[in-house]
Amino acid sequence: MIETILVFLPLVGSIIAGVMVFASIDADKHRKHTLDLASQVVTCGLLVISALLAVVIFFDVGLNGNARTTELFTWIASGSFELSWALKVDTLTSVMMIVVCTVSAMVHIYSVGYMHHDPSVPRFMCYLSLFTFMMLMLITADNLVQMFFGWEGVGLASYLLIGFWYKRPSANAAAIKAFVVNRVGDFGFALGIFATFVLFDTIHLDTIFDSVPGQKDAILNVFGVDFHAMTIICLLLFVGAMGKSAQLGLHTWLPDAMEGPTPVSALIHAATMVTAGVFMVARLSPMFEYSQTALDVVTVVGASTAIFAATIGCVQNDIKRVIAYSTCSQLGYMFFACGVSAYSAGIFHLMTHGFFKALLFLGAGSVIHAMSDEQDMRKMGGIWKMIPVTYALMWIGSLALAGVPPFAGFFSKDIVLEAAYAAHSGVGQYAFVMGLLAALLTAFYSWRLLFMTFHGTSRADEKTLAHVHESPKVMIIPLLVLALGAVAAGYVPYSLFVGDGMANFWGDAILMLPHHQALENAHHVPALVKYSPLIVGAIGIGTAWVLYIKRPDIPPMIAARFQGVYQFLLNKWYFDELYDKLFVRPAFAIGRGLWKGGDGALIDGCGPDGVSSAVRVMARRVSALQTGYLYHYAFAMLIGIAALVSWYMFTKGS
């Protein structure tokens, strides 16, 4: 019952705010202001209630172990393809609920201040709440298709929010890109669902999980090839996860998604939606556990993304893009944790990351707000005294991100790296090394961001500088709440999530086969492994200090010296250009070619148009014979009679 209320409150808020959008169309200034305020109060209020209920559920389900599923009503039923709208709540869901509802509530409140000057406040609040509802539907799904519903639903909300400022062509392009690239991932997800259904004859999660052990050696013929069934299913599903979580290859939409308002970036493109892929892998752990190949792929993809995105993050100049690539990289960590069967470590990092990354984004938003919508770090600098609270909060976020104790990221990142090391497998080692390198770069770009934004001499113009101001309370308070998370979310739940209380806490929500010992062994790694993240973190911070505080003349020299590498990184490994050449342009060109050449020239040309013109030509020739002169006709008749007579003679006569 509680979960039903929790899930549907945001939908109610969204609908109410949606009605207000239309109510405020022709409203005068005063009335419009009232409606704006009403929409903010309603959506924020409902979200805060949801967040409180999430805490209640966490205690009830997570700590007291009352996992349950509430069936609402039948959704689709066709033969054995049967599923219901249902709310499944177990420990995994309850943890996700905490992250989603808390961050969402904070972002809602923050938006009251951030979107203050925007003319379409109710619409923004409507979309935010809609997103939250869809995300909750995703995490409470008890079958794959409802998960897909939430999956595409958050995609829709993301599309609407990225394109929120619809007058900007770049925002529209980014919105479409996000939706379409995600669809590519969803294509894999959908095929994975179908394959699951063919193998298990159900898409109900618990039923599948029960029958996986019996099918662990099953063979499934897909595309004419016999695959190990669990491997192909998990890989197809993972393609979906890669799309939503912006993993290498399908990541191109995420940086562009920064076109959306900053609260959106914090909520959707950092803390919640993009972690859906990680959630999916953890949720389906009873399936992934039975395919070592799939797990290895997850590990490699995650580790590669972690390092790949971190390299790009080091050279970006847009403050939001740096954090976006950082998100991409951190998602990689979560994936390779799952890949070495340390699902709970992945979810642990997901949670801590949710808090400190939302904090960083909202802090960046506060900076952007202060700098009159400037996002380029090259035009910032030296403003820390003017916005000290934001500055301090950004430090907390960065410390957590870089994994400095006792901040949250320290605990979660450490256990992730240790688990990778302790997996004692080739891919595990790869993930550990890549993760460690990425940790170095993470510390570097985080402090590069801090130094470029807040320190040194200011590169902003006079007018902007004069306007720099600390954000209002309504924006700072959510930041404080998130900062609390960034500080405490690591140490406090450590033993529950990945320590001694682990087995009891997660219960049936996550499956780890006995021979997958990475997480257990993670607690017994050599000291060097244990401290290495800290060491590389310190090196990263130190390097950033040298390059951006001590000797700010060096970075341009490096860039000039290694022009090729620099350009390669600055242009994000040329993925966009490649995809543009490989897919986007050809699709349009082929489309045009098929239209003009295929439909126009070939089909119509040989078909109706061809036939009709042939008929016309024939008719013209025939009509040319009709001259109107009597003797022509007489002559023709004569020939005819002659022909007839001769025919008669020859056939009958002989």
Partner 1 sequence: MLDLPLLTILTFAPLVGVLAILIIRHDDPEVVASNARNVALFVSSGVFLLSLLLWFTFDRTTADFQWVEKYAWMDDFGISYHMGVDGISVLFVMLTTLLTPICVLASWTSINERVKEYMIAFLILETFMIGMFCALDLFVFYIFFEAVLIPMFIIIGVWGGARRVYAAFKLFLYTLLGSVLMLVAMLTMYYYADTTNVIELMGYDFPIDVQKWMWLAFFASFAVKVPMWPVHTWLPDAHVEAPTAGSVILAGVLLKFGGYGFLRFSLPMMPEASLFFTPLIYTLSIVAVIYTSLVALAQEDMKKLIAYSSIAHMGFVTIGTFTLTTQGIEGAIYQMLSHGVVSAALFLVVGVVYDRIHTREIAAYGGLVSRMPAYALTFMVFAMASVGLPGTGGFVGEVLVLVGAFKANTWVAAFAATGVILGAAYTLYLYRRIIFGELTKENLMKIKDMNRREIAIFAPLLFITIWMGIYPSSFLDFMHVSVEHLINQVETSLAQSGMLELAGR
Residues that bind partner 1 (CB under 8 A): 21-22, 25, 73-81, 85, 145, 148-149, 152-153, 156, 159, 163, 166-167, 169, 172, 175-176, 179-180, 183-184, 186-187, 190-191, 194-195, 197-198, 221-224, 587-588, 590-592, 594-595, 598-599, 603-604, 607-608, 612
**Minimal distance, residue 154 CB to partner 1, in Å:** 11
Nearer to partner 1, 224 or 653 (CB): 224
Single out the residue of 366, 174, 374 nearest to residue 258, CA to CA. 174
Nearer to partner 1, 18 or 354 (CB): 18
Bridge partner residues of 83 (DSSP) = 76
**Minimal distance, residue 142 CB to partner 1, in Å:** 15
**Minimal distance, residue 171 CB to partner 1, in Å:** 8
Give the distance, in angstroms, between the CA of residue 212 and the centroid of all CA atoms in the same chain.
28
Q: Pairing mode, if any, of strands 225-228 and 81-89?
A: unpaired
Task: Check the CA dihedral 464-466-472-476 and report its sign.
Answer: positive
Nearer to partner 1, 294 or 518 (CB): 294
Instruction: Please give the radius of gyration of the chain, using alpha carbons only, rounded to the nearest integer.
Output: 31
**Minimal distance, residue 218 CB to partner 1, in Å:** 15
Q: How far apart are CA 375 and CA 368, in angstroms?
A: 6
* Cα distances (Å, whole numbers) of residue 3 to 59, 75, 101, 289: 13, 19, 12, 29
Q: How far apart are CA 37 and CA 32, in angstroms?
A: 9
- Give the contacts of 113 (CB within 8 A, at least 6 positions apart): 471, 472, 473, 474, 475
Nearer to partner 1, 78 or 457 (CB): 78
**Minimal distance, residue 162 CB to partner 1, in Å:** 12
**Minimal distance, residue 259 CB to partner 1, in Å:** 12
Angle at 102 between CA 365 and CA 319, to 5 degrees: 20
Nearer to partner 1, 492 or 617 (CB): 617
3-state secondary structure 292-342: HHHHHHHHHHHHHHHHHHHHHHCCCCEHHHHHHHHHHHHHHHHHHHHHCCC
Single out the residue of 507, 117, 134, 138 nearest to residue 343, CA to CA. 507
Nearer to partner 1, 191 or 358 (CB): 191
Nearer to partner 1, 236 or 383 (CB): 236
Nearer to partner 1, 25 or 624 (CB): 25
Nearer to partner 1, 469 or 592 (CB): 592
**Minimal distance, residue 81 CB to partner 1, in Å:** 5
Task: Check the CA dihedral 536-540-541-545 and report its sign.
Answer: positive
Nearer to partner 1, 175 or 340 (CB): 175
**Minimal distance, residue 294 CB to partner 1, in Å:** 18
**Minimal distance, residue 187 CB to partner 1, in Å:** 5
Give the distance, in angstroms, between the CA of residue 325 and the centroid of all CA atoms in the same chain.
12
Q: Which two tokens stand for residue 210?
A: 């029960």
Strand, coil or helix: 222:
strand
Q: Which two tokens stand for residue 102?
A: 């808390």
Q: Which helix (H) or strand (E) holds 502?
A: helix 502-506
DSSP E strands, 56-146:
68-78, 81-89
Nearer to partner 1, 141 or 315 (CB): 141
